[in-house]
Amino acid sequence: MTAAIFYRYLAYITLGCFALFGLLYLVFLPIRQHWPLTLITLSAFVLLCLGLFWSGSATVNSTNKGAFNGLILGSVFGKMVLAVGLLYMYQRIWKPDNEWFVAIFLFSYLVYTIFEVWFMTKLARQS
């Protein structure tokens, strides 16, 4: 997978998420207060995907065949820690009135996890 293709799909996914959340904020008022979490979450996942792509590109052709697998295991653990930490900090700092922020986060988590699996599989197959 080339960097241009990766960037294109990352842009499509991110713009799609922004559009969907923007529409939801217009239609469904209880989640409107959670726009800071949306920005933080999407930014964090974009940065995580960028880091994984470049790390994956570097390790997929490494002489150490365990490096790519280690990267995947580290990313799974790191993303879980990021998820728990992000939700905890959001709840402590912003003190939301409802729990819709969890649905926003989980949707973003699911979308970007599917994208990660897709591009990491593409990277692994091209080696």
**pLDDT tens for each residue of 84-100:** 999 999 999 999 999 99
Structural tokens at position 54: 């470049």
- Can you give the residue ranges of every domain in the chain? 3-126
Mean confidence (pLDDT) of the chain: 94
d(CA 70, CA 67) in angstroms, rounded, equals: 5
| Stated pTM of the model | 0.93
